[in-house]
Amino acid sequence: MTQKESELRQYDWTFQGANSREGVHSIHPYPAKFIPQIPHQLIEIYADSKSDVVFDPFCGSGTALVEAMKKGHSSIGVDVHPLACLISRVKTRPLPDDFGNRAREIITSVRNRYPGDVEPPDLPNIDHWFKKPIQQALTLIIDELEQVENQPTKEALQVALSSIIVRVSNQDSNTRYAAVEKDVTAEDVLQKFSQASSKIESAFKKNSEWRRNSATCDVLNENILEVEPSDIPQKVDLVITSPPYPNAYEYWLYHKYRMYWLGLADPTEVKENEIGARPHYQGSNPRDETDFEERMVSLFDLLRDITTEDATASFVVGRSVIQGEEVDNGKLLERAADAAGFYTADSASRSIPSNTKSFNPGYSKIKDEKILTFKKL
DNA sequence: GAGTTCTTATTCCGTCCATG
DNA sequence: CATGGACGGAATAAGAACTC
């Protein structure tokens, strides 16, 4: 890499003061979301034409996919997490016209039916995580959701419901898995569901025009390490992603009851395939950072096959801690890229503004991230 | 309506403790 | 006694609710 030509370092990546929770990005909580400005800026830098295809192998709730579409690029996202894919699908297609009315009908109907005669589902430890009235309200909403025939409408309503599940449960917060007393009623469930639906409606009203462009978006619910090149429908020009970190957030855990309620894949199966899930780094035979590196090598092997010759692959990574030892994920990624025939074309570091709520440096040990761009040799 | 308090959401790990 | 589910500490800031 020629130091003087670093393009990435010409930009301020902190995006201090930028409102990152605007529009469709805010319809569902998801830990460690991209700030939309990051993929936006990367596309600005690396896309040569509108026909360039953007790929995110760890798409999560779809921030990079949305930003690609806003700029008129088609995109492809992959994630093992079925909830991530659900949210990504909903964000990247138009909101069905009947969404708002459907939401209101469901709320009215549940209010009339409550407490109803439907038994709550037999979820593991359900009484520990949900008060009885909450279970009842959620059961009725799910029952109503099952009557919705139009799949895009149903999925958008599922996102609305999913977005409130942690708030009405006893789970402390999205990323703190402990039961606390919260004082939520069945009526609160309906109110929050109503608010969540309205939020989705207004988010989509603000963002109507970019959905009319010809950009497409494919979301694959797959383990990226098992994806074959032929599974990816188009050649990729830009890879933009933030990979999971070893021993870090556990998406399967924080979203466990969302998945149970919505009848998505078994969370414990998702755990097995989730790169970076903490149980893999503990116990008698723990993984270490070399395992993560190997997985990243197989990711780069895939990327080599599905990208165009002059494609760029940009990663945003921070550091993590495994059993008290600090791990530089950027270094691991560079080694993995190198092993798979990529070189580091550019890099920059990004300090996390101390006034952000999403990354609270006072308590999070991550104080900065790296932005790395790789190209094929 | 500006200024103040209250409430709620957030957190990219280490460790405890239940259960088999 | 290993496994994996559950828990904790508490600063910070955005948004809501209240006050004058």
Provide the 8-state DSSP code for A358.
S
- Residues packed against strand C, CB within 7 Å: A 21, 124-125, 128-129, 172, 176-180, 253, 256, 268, 271, 279, 282-285, 354-357, 360, 362-363
Is the predicted pLDDT of residue A10 greater than 70, yes or no?
Answer: yes
Q: What is the pLDDT of residues A208-265, one digit of tens each?
A: 677 777 899 999 999 999 999 999 999 999 999 998 888 777 888 888 899 999 999 8
Provide the 8-state DSSP code for A129.
H
The answer to whether A180 and A125 are in contact (CB under 8 A) is no
As a whole number of angstroms, the distance between CA A181 and CA A176 comes to: 14
Provide the 8-state DSSP code for A157.
H
As a whole number of angstroms, the distance between CA A133 and CA A186 comes to: 5
Supply A312's token pair: 């760029």
When pLDDT is averaged across residues A320-339 and rounded to a whole number, the result is 86
Q: What is the pLDDT of residues A54-86, one digit of tens each?
A: 999 999 989 999 999 999 999 999 999 899 999
Supply A9's token pair: 């370092």
Supply A300's token pair: 């780069």
Q: What is the pLDDT of residues A156-198, one digit of tens each?
A: 999 999 998 998 888 888 888 888 888 788 888 888 898 888 8
CA/C1' separation A119–B16 (Å):
34
Nucleotide C6: nearest residue by CA–C1'? Answer: A178
CA/C1' separation A261–B13 (Å):
27
Give yes or no for CB of A32 within 7 Å of strand B: yes
Supply A66's token pair: 């949305």
For the domain made up of A7-92+212-255+274-376, give the CATH fold. Rossmann fold (3.40.50)
Find the radius of gyration of the CA atoms of chain A. Answer: 21
Q: What is the pLDDT of residues A345-372, one digit of tens each?
A: 999 887 765 545 444 444 455 567 889 9
